[in-house]
């Protein structure tokens, strides 16, 4: 099938070559067709526009790209690229990005509100005796403390630091895994990190703070990047882990820093993030940007489950 072009003259040395675009497309469709073009060795770009995603190829490759996609779809009519010389699609307003940032802000505000309710856990104050990560009690079966400890903080400076860290790092993971899965995975990694810390240290230690979960969120992102594989994910994984290691070193001298708990949270997040990313490969897009993740219903279920886990853990602590 031939594709009509309104620009058949050769570009001048001062002009960029003519490009052909196909779109707007849904994320899942664009990703699938991008793989088809890659398998055929057809150079292309995936561009984000205000009304969706676009595939862009050199105008000279438009016919071959259309034929490849037609064969892939097993249909007679191929998608037609627009070969008219025009500016690239305008960037979108990115509502998904705002939602991801909203998760970080909501988490930070929740930590501040929790501090107002649970009190200052410095020297075992506030609700720390009921919900702190007392390693001896955890090893004796009080596993809910691995969760409740994430919501306790030793002083206003401690909670402000963790609120700020949540605003910065949770959206990074949510951008890749979706909001609900990130929230559930972050709580899970933080709780497992507290459990591992108790196991390593043995009885006699008490820990509080959301920072273990924040490092868990970085682990989620590293695990997801590892699963991304040939799309550059493995390199991205080492970049994330390197950033986390630098952050560990930076926070290591802080008075309220618990390097072991942070490292355990980070390590716990990696396999959880990898598992979510593998699940995501079979799912549908949760929003219009970012990598395909589990469907919106699963994202909602995961977010509700995360909140229920925290509420349930405090229910056990206060009984």
Identify the CA nearest to 56 among candidates 76, 77, 85.
85
Per the CB < 8 A criterion, the answer to whether 204 and 133 are in contact is no
Per the CB < 8 A criterion, the answer to whether 50 and 92 are in contact is yes
pLDDT at 176: 85
By mean pLDDT, which of 15-19, 50-54, 70-74, 271-275 is the weakest? 15-19
Cβ-based neighbours of 218, under 8 Å, separated by 6 or more: 169, 172, 173, 240, 243, 244, 247, 266, 269
pLDDT at 8: 41
- pLDDT-based confidence at 135, cuts 50/70/90? very high
- pLDDT-based confidence at 283, cuts 50/70/90? low
Give the pLDDT confidence of 66-77 residue by residue, as tens digits. 888 887 776 545
Q: Which percentage of the chain shows pLDDT scores above 90? A: 40
Q: Is 264 helix (H, G, I), strand (E, B) or coil?
A: helix
**For the residues 46-55, what does the mean pLDDT come to?**
80
How far, in Å, CA of 64 to CA of 303, rounded?
44
**For the residues 212-234, what does the mean pLDDT come to?**
78
List of domains in the chain: 1-93 (3.30.70), 95-318 (1.20.1540.10)
- pLDDT-based confidence at 222, cuts 50/70/90? confident
pLDDT at 284: 42
pLDDT at 74: 60
- Position 268 pLDDT exceeds 60: yes
Per the CB < 8 A criterion, the answer to whether 297 and 131 are in contact is no
Q: Is 293 helix (H, G, I), strand (E, B) or coil?
A: coil
By mean pLDDT, which of 223-227, 235-239, 240-244 is the weakest? 235-239
- Position 206 pLDDT exceeds 80: yes
pTM for the whole structure: 0.66
pLDDT at 249: 64
Mean pLDDT of the chain: 80
Cβ-based neighbours of 254, under 8 Å, separated by 6 or more: none
Identify the CA nearest to 182 among candidates 303, 278, 99, 311.
303
How far, in Å, CA of 27 to CA of 30, rounded?
5
Give the pLDDT confidence of 154-194 residue by residue, as tens digits. 999 999 999 999 998 899 899 888 899 999 999 999 999 99
């Amino acid at each position: 099938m031939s594709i009509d072009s309104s620009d058949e003259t050769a570009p001048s040395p001062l002009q960029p070559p003519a490009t052909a675009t196909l779109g707007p497309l849904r994320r899942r469709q664009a990703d699938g067709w991008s793989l088809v073009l890659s398998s055929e060795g057809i150079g292309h770009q995936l561009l984000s526009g205000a009304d969706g995603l676009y595939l862009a190829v050199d105008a000279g490759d438009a016919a071959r790209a259309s034929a490849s996609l037609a064969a892939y779809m097993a249909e007679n009519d191929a998608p037609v690229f627009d070969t008219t010389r025009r500016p690239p699609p305008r960037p979108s307003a990115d509502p998904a990005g705002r939602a991801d940032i909203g998760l970080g802000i909501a988490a930070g505000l929740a930590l501040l509100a929790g501090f107002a309710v649970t009190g200052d856990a410095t020297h075992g104050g506030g609700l720390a005796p009921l919900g702190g990560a007392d390693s001896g009690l955890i090893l004796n079966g009080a596993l809910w403390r691995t969760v409740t400890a994430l919501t306790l903080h030793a002083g206003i400076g401690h909670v402000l630091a963790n609120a700020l860290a949540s605003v910065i790092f949770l959206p990074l993971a949510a951008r890749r895994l979706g909001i609900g899965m990130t929230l559930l995975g972050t709580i899970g990694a933080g709780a497992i990190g507290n459990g591992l810390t108790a196991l390593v240290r043995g009885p006699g230690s008490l820990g509080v703070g959301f920072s273990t979960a924040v490092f868990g969120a970085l682990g989620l992102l590293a695990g997801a990047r590892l699963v991304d594989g040939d799309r550059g994910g493995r390199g991205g994984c080492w970049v994330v882990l390197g950033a986390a290691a630098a952050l560990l070193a930076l926070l290591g001298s802080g008075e309220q820093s618990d390097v072991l708990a942070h490292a355990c949270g980070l390590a716990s997040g990696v396999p959880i993030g990898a598992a979510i990313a593998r699940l995501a490969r079979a799912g549908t897009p949760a929003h219009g940007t970012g990598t395909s993740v589990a469907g919106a219903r699963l994202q909602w279920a995961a977010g509700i489950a995360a909140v229920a886990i925290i509420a349930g853990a405090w229910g056990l602590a206060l009984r």
